Amino acid sequence: MKAISIGLLGLGTVGSGVVKIIKNHQDKLMHQVGCPVEVKKILVQNLHKSRPSEVDKDLLTSNADEVLNDDEIDVIIEVMGGVHETKDYLLSALQKGKHVVTANKDLMALHGSELLTVASENGCDLFYEASVAGGIPILRGLVDGLASDRITQMMGIVNGTTNYILTKMSKDGSAYDEVLKEAQELGFAEADPTSDVEGLDAARKMTILATLGFSMHIDLDDVAVSGISNVTEEDLQYGKQLGYTMKLLGYAHREGEKVEVSVQPTFLSNNHPLASVQNEYNAVYVYGEAVGETMFYGPGAGSLPTATAVVSDLVGVIKNLRLGVNGRSAVTPQYPKRLKTNEEKYSKYFLRIHVQDEVGVFAEITSVFAKHGVSFEKILQLPVRKNETSEIVLVTHRASLTNYDAILHELNDLHAVKEIKSAYRVVRN
């Protein structure tokens, strides 16, 4: 019985996990696919680096051609990261008739459409379950489990670093910079955390989710993005008083033929299922017209959870290979891209405003909201001890983004308003 040979690009945290699972779960894989599965060659940058004991040093190479041009290799697994060089490697592999499994969210968010087209043209599979939410089978859930439904909304905590930071800030009352440093020391945050804390990592994942969930080609530039670096412990404490928990939330909503996709710090009502997702865990909440509400929850990163998703994709490729149906699973987007305008985007909003502590100020602020047809759901008014300043914390009823932006602009122009300290979207269950 011929073994399926794997070429592995990258041997970092996830790559080591892939090797470990293939080696230790060989009996399970044999049962699933009916033949042995072996790693034949592994591309690494440094041949002399210390490696885990389960990695055979004879499999290592620093020459990509030894992997991509080996006719005996059936499947390329890419876990090396990067975009431009990696894209060239995968295009080369697909054009040579090799199937590809990748965990590369950056690559798939930017060039997924091109790679999937090349895969289809060459009768190859290109699977990328591990590119979103690590070990959670969300992409397979959308493509297979919910294939017959019409998805109208997806909300996700898809970045473990920011969820860990916000959880610790909320529980301990700690400052952002303090928690970020702790997250870096524990390995939850990179030395350069920009991609995570500014929402870019989550935006790439939401691009992939929205494209699949809405069957519409969504580009990274279509996602409105803001991060958590300006969130303060005071914001979180006020949120608690009002019954909210803050998350960096990926949000994708379809209404009729139009969609919106965003990533931003958001206050969720405490009874929302996503509000209880803590620390480095990920979760994606999906609403379908037929199935109603579903939620996918689990570890969003880590060696073995992510490697599990990679090897599960590998099993899918091999099953297709044995059935002779590779390259037929990719479905091109069904609908042309139509994005909502700001007038069509509605939400509730949290605002924290510092104002002059004098008579008539609140009435002046209220008139700005009333002018744009926006009313209040909750209000807190508190004194600030210094500079004769009051603090107003309020939550609006639903307002269009157009009206909300106009309100912020007019509030900033009011003499009585010293500063808009913070402004966030609010989602209730």
Whether residue 328 lies inside any domain: the answer is no
Residue 110 clears pLDDT 70, i.e. is over it: yes
Banded model confidence at residue 386, pLDDT cuts 50, 70, 90: low
Is residue 205 annotated as a catalytic residue, yes or no?
Answer: yes
Q: How far apart are CA 220 and CA 224, in angstroms?
A: 9
The domain that holds 222 is classified in CATH as 3.30.360.10
pLDDT score for 228: 97
Contact 56, 42 (CB under 8 A): no
What pLDDT does 191 receive? 86
Indicate whether 363 and 397 sit together in one domain: yes
Beta strand extents in 326-400 (DSSP E only): 346-356, 376-384, 389-396, 399-400
Query: pLDDT higher for 134 or 63?
Result: 63
What pLDDT, on a 0 to 100 scale, did the predictor assign at position 324?
Answer: 87
Instruction: Dump pLDDT digits (tens) for 4-60.
Output: 999 999 999 899 999 999 999 999 999 999 899 999 999 999 888 888 777 888 999
Residue 290 lies in a domain: yes
- Looking at the structure, do residues 234 and 317 belong to the same domain, yes or no? no
CATH code of residue 356: 3.30.70.260
* Domain assignment present for 337: no
The reported pLDDT for the residue numbered 429 is 66
Phi/psi of residue 235, nearest 5 degrees: -55, -45
User: What is the total count of domains within the chain?
Assistant: 3
Per residue in 197-255, pLDDT tens? 999 999 999 999 999 999 999 999 999 999 999 999 999 999 999 999 999 999 999 99
Residue 308 and residue 239 share a domain:
no
- Of the listed ranges 100-109, 167-176, 322-331, the least confidently predicted one is 322-331
- The tens digit of pLDDT for each residue in 263-272 reads 999 999 999 9
Judged by average pLDDT, the poorest of 172-181, 182-191, 276-285 is: 182-191
Which band of pLDDT confidence, cut at 50, 70 and 90, is reported for residue 372? Answer: very high
147 and 123 in one domain? Answer: no
Residue 224: inside a domain, yes or no? yes
Stretch 163-171: mean pLDDT, rounded? Answer: 94
Asked if residue 284 and residue 145 are part of one domain, the reply reads yes
Both 362 and 281 in one domain: the answer is: no
Question: What is the DSSP secondary structure assignment for residue 222, as one 8-state letter?
Answer: G
340 Cβ contact list (under 8 Å, min separation 6): 255, 258, 259, 260
By DSSP bridging, strand 151-157 and strand 244-255 are antiparallel
Same-domain check for residues 17 and 75: yes
pLDDT above 70: residue 156: yes
Predicted pLDDT at 385: 62
Range of the domain at 291: 138-298
The residue annotated as part of the active site, out of 205, 247, 345, 348, is 205
